[in-house]
A and B are shown apart, each in its own frame.
Chain A
């Protein structure tokens, strides 16, 4: 009886973990894609010479 209950508990825990992971997986995908995209804009677009030129043009320094 106790063994059966323990086994049922284990199965339920496994199902919960699986269901948790199933719910988490889309969020992991979103975060990964978002991070790759943001990094691309920061490094390849804003970090490029054209990006730097535009930034310098539209965000003039206030020194002096």
Chain B
């Protein structure tokens, strides 16, 4: 039953996404292949659906609201899909696909599908538990989309997270984990379409899909609450459209995808700026085209992008004091940031710099970056497993093996500039996924060139390179997801994992099942409130956010318990701090106690 509701929720979302995405069809480039149109419809639908959820969610965000938003999309999706399914059924012509890459892609999707039924577990260090899934859970409980004040990262743009909320509302807490299938599929379709557009045949496109799906650094951005694969898909879709754009409609679509990228991640702002610069440069380099119309089209695209992304940034400005929240360096000078003390902001920046250093930020490290990403990927945040060796071994020869037109040049230029900007700003492996995809396409183009030029040793070596990349990637992905797959198929293992990996699980279980609990005061900043099904207040967040005045004064907070309307208090002992409540205050009664965890009732 739990599997059924998860599948049904995801199916509804996919059909609705396809329905909304199909509304953009008139803007698709006429030269695009069917596979590209499907990918653009999926990504455009995800962007449209997420933005709709967010805008409506500012006033009303509950299960009926979600169903009302999804319904037109589902109906239109069915109306669009049915004739296609019928034509597929009546079309008896079978096309032969290359068996090995197809099998590789299927294995990865199968692992993702089975692992997608596992319950999310982990401590507050896991981004999914800390904010990707916490935000949606709290929004649904409160019936509104508002930043969770004790977790500043829930104010990030959240096109993907609003869809996690929809999935939670329809299919329960496990449903968002299966969203990884949609994310991966959209990315693989887009990558295969790009590969075909760059001159590769169907087999080449399948190999691109196989290589991409077995890149552990890319795969990491698809599951466990991460939104990076969708974000990169949106950026690549924008790139695909703009480098081939001819009409105002194409540029409008480009603007839409840029807006969706900025509505998914703050890094989308940088990617959008880079895309506009590259589009302008490619237009200048292309002698046949006049500059002024292109500039006008790009200006309109810019306006569309800003309009589409603005709800997220205006909301943050109004509620949190800064359009980007938590504020990146420089912005605190111009905006008065709320709920985040200046020392906490400084610590946040220090942490960002530390995590984003990778293997250095000097010129030598920039030149060595391709080697570092290939051989030492774990030195970059979330980069463990890396991207295989195809981009380094075969990518450099890709320019000789591809149809080197405007799109190939544009993608190459974009990848180069984006890599440099990434290198200078924040070297987090997940933030470069769109460049890995471009590198994989050039890698397969390079493979074709090697086979053509070097007739004896080259094909053997390049075959070995591809096999090594795929097998190593499969091994790393399998190792990363083995527990999820095990938990999905074994209830006893799932119980064991819950007990081992959910911190203070007994207290959460007590608080969730005790009917007298209405609101919980959580004293320790590192307790993950995702596991709590009741309202809560956490005076200090894990990054030093201060939700209430005098949040750091424990005595004051405890005196204010009646004003906070808390019915219970959760106090824990962690590796970093002991119990906060040492002398039992008169207004609290200890009602539950386990190792390192105490629950008090407010009298």
Give chain A's interface residues, CB within 8 Å of chain B.
25-27, 29-30, 32-34, 36-37, 39-41, 43-45
CB distance from A49 to the nearest CB of B (A): 11
Decide yes or no whether B389 CB sits under 8 A from chain A: yes
CB distance from B555 to the nearest CB of A (A): 48
Measured between beta carbons, the chain A residues less than 8 angstroms from B389 are 36-37, 40
Are A40's CB and B458's CB within 8 A?
no
Task: Known A37-B464, A44-B472; judge A30-B375 contact (CB<8 A).
Answer: no
Decide yes or no whether B454 CB sits under 8 A from chain A: yes
Can you list 5 residue pairs at the A/B interface with Cβ under 8 Å?
Answer: A27-B454, A29-B458, A37-B464, A40-B374, A40-B468
CB distance from A39 to the nearest CB of B (A): 7
Are A29's CB and B454's CB within 8 A?
yes
Task: Known A29-B453, A44-B375; judge A37-B472 contact (CB<8 A).
Answer: no
A sample of 7 more A-B contacts (CB under 8 A), given A29-B450, A29-B454, A30-B457, is A26-B453, A30-B461, A36-B389, A36-B465, A37-B393, A37-B468, A40-B375
Are B461's CB and A33's CB within 8 A?
yes
Give chain B's interface residues, CB within 8 Å of chain A.
374-376, 386, 389, 392-394, 396-397, 450, 453-455, 457-458, 461-462, 464-465, 468, 472
Measured between beta carbons, the chain B residues less than 8 angstroms from A25 are 453
CB distance from B416 to the nearest CB of A (A): 20
Minimum-distance CB pairs A-B, first 3: A26-B454, A36-B393, A33-B461
The winner among B396, B454, B472 for most chain A CB atoms within 10 A is B454
Measured between beta carbons, the chain A residues less than 8 angstroms from B457 are 26, 30, 34
CB distance from A34 to the nearest CB of B (A): 6
CB distance from A12 to the nearest CB of B (A): 24
Main secondary structure of the interface of A (DSSP, over half): helix
Are A39's CB and B375's CB within 8 A?
yes
Are B465's CB and A37's CB within 8 A?
yes
CA separation between A29 and B465, bound complex, in Å? 13
Are A43's CB and B462's CB within 8 A?
no
Measured between beta carbons, the chain A residues less than 8 angstroms from B462 are 33
CA separation between A29 and B460, bound complex, in Å? 12
CA separation between A47 and B461, bound complex, in Å? 21
Are B393's CB and A26's CB within 8 A?
no
Measured between beta carbons, the chain A residues less than 8 angstroms from B453 are 25-26, 29
Task: Known A39-B375, A40-B375, A44-B375; judge A30-B464 contact (CB<8 A).
Answer: no
In this complex, what residue of B is CB-closest to A42?
B375
Are B393's CB and A32's CB within 8 A?
yes
Measured between beta carbons, the chain A residues less than 8 angstroms from B375 are 39-40, 43-44
Measured between beta carbons, the chain B residues less than 8 angstroms from A43 are 375-376
CB distance from A26 to the nearest CB of B (A): 4
In this complex, what residue of A is CB-closest to B461?
A33
In this complex, what residue of A is CB-closest to B377?
A44
Are A33's CB and B450's CB within 8 A?
yes
CA separation between A44 and B472, bound complex, in Å? 9
Are B465's CB and A30's CB within 8 A?
no
Measured between beta carbons, the chain B residues less than 8 angstroms from A29 are 397, 450, 453-454, 458
The winner among B376, B392, B393, B455 for most chain A CB atoms within 10 A is B393
CB distance from B90 to the nearest CB of A (A): 46
CB distance from B443 to the nearest CB of A (A): 11
In this complex, what residue of A is CB-closest to B472?
A44
Measured between beta carbons, the chain B residues less than 8 angstroms from A26 are 453-455, 457-458
The winner among A29, A32, A45 for most chain B CB atoms within 10 A is A29
In this complex, what residue of A is CB-closest to B385?
A44
CB distance from B328 to the nearest CB of A (A): 34
In this complex, what residue of A is CB-closest to B449?
A29
